[in-house]
Amino acid sequence: MSITYLDAIREAQAHALRDDPRVFIYGQDVGAFGGAFKATKNLQKEFPGRVFDSPISEDAMIGLAVGAAIEGLRPIVEMQFADFSSVAFNQIVNQAATLFWRTQVPCPITVRLPFGGTSGGGPFHSQTPETIYAHYPGLIVLTPATVEDAYSMLLEAVAIDDPVIFCEHKFLYRHLKAEKLPTEALPIGKARIAREGRDLTVVAYSAMVQDAKEAATELAAEGWEIEVVDLRSVKPLDTDTIIASVARTGKLLAVGEAWPWGGVTAEVISRVTSEGFGLLDAPPQRLNAKDTPVPYHPNLWAAHRPTVRSIAAAARKILRH
């Protein structure tokens, strides 16, 4: 039997609903329909009175979740697409993220964001807003890159006493498969070495981890050994694992699907240069999407974002330094 990334997300929610009576799910079309991506398929039937369709009101969806969290419940909110979380931005960053600091009352909500580009998604169904949420104090931002992490990190997200922005990549939903669900996992805040190497560290997260691994395979044919670090969690960011990797390789490429101004890759470069400057044998580089909205046509879309080819090309440039 094989389990997809999407199955893992559904199973994690079923597990959370089964194990914890405080958990409920709220979102557009998540009930009988099972969600736009079927991430909540049959959950309403299996857990009556625990899975609720919401009106198209992202702001009020998060507001309701915060109120329920104050009452001690653990809501999981599905945004139909991460792009629409901009409508809920105020409730996420000003209500949920500030509650504990202001009042000492925890706000354990999980906001699931189906995010990232797929061909044909266009400007409003492709965005990767992890950077914006990571910027605000009080939020945890998770970006699982594997089926196993999608499962274990979503379970952990629900258990965490803070608001979690859970970024699940739409391309990985049906593309990634595993044989079975994991029984143990790295803790939140710990990055993972997704592939070992000694010539260059490529730091990536979410779907870019798969692309970076493929690029590493391509470069292996040319004799280069590339180490790929999967951040897993964007905030907190595991600087120690990144620096330890750069200590081994002396070279760094940070890859992200998000836009280039600021963001996770800039943060990675900034930390390595300030804390590990002496470890670097070449100027560290970043590879991001282009600074335009995400385009619709596959030709434009493929050129807009980092790909296996552009990651390999950027890597070669550093390796030849």
Partner 1 sequence: MLQTVSESRAVGETQRAAYRCMLRARLLDDKFAALYRAGKIHGGVFLGRGQEALSAAIGVHLNKSDVFAPLIRDAAGRLAFGEPIIDAVRTYLGSALGPMRGRDGNVHRGRPQAGYLPMISHLGAMVSVVNGVLFARRLKGISGIVGVACLGEGATSTGAFHEALNQAAVEKLPLVLVIANNQFAYSTPTNRQFACADLADRAAGYGVESHSVDATEFSVCIEKLGAAIARARAGHGPQLVVATLLRLCGHGEHDDAGYIAPEMKNSPLGRDCLKVAEEFLLKKNLADAAQFAVWRSEAIREIEDAVAQAQREPAPDPYEEKWSALASEKLNELREEH
Residues between 211 and 240 with contacts to partner 1, criterion CB under 8 A: 235-239
What single-letter DSSP state applies at residue 112?
E
User: What is the distance between the alpha carbons of residues 204 and 231, in angstroms, rounded to a whole number?
Assistant: 6
For position 182 contacting partner 1 by CB under 8 A, the verdict is no
Residue type for 159, please? A
For position 277 contacting partner 1 by CB under 8 A, the verdict is no
Count of alpha carbons within 13 Å of 46, Cβ hemisphere only? 16
For position 97 contacting partner 1 by CB under 8 A, the verdict is yes
For partner 1, the closer of residues 101 and 124 by Cβ is: 101
Q: What's the Cα-to-Cα distance from 34 to each of 26, 45, 143, 163, 311, rounded to whole Å?
A: 11, 10, 23, 24, 36
Backbone φ and ψ for 24, nearest 5 degrees, come out as -145, 160
Characterize the bridge pairing of strands 285-287 and 252-255. parallel
Residues in the chain, total: 321
For position 191 contacting partner 1 by CB under 8 A, the verdict is no
User: What is the distance between the alpha carbons of residues 273 and 150, in angstroms, rounded to a whole number?
Assistant: 31
Give the residue numbers marked as catalytic: 125
Residues between 237 and 276 with contacts to partner 1, criterion CB under 8 A: 237-239, 270-271, 274
Residues between 135 and 154 with contacts to partner 1, criterion CB under 8 A: 137-138, 140
Least distance (Å) between residue 312 CB and partner 1? 30
For position 102 contacting partner 1 by CB under 8 A, the verdict is yes
Which spans of this chain sit near partner 1 (rule: CB under 8 A)? Answer: 24, 49, 54-55, 57-73, 75, 87, 90-91, 94-95, 97-103, 105-108, 137-138, 140, 160-162, 187-189, 235-239, 270-271, 274
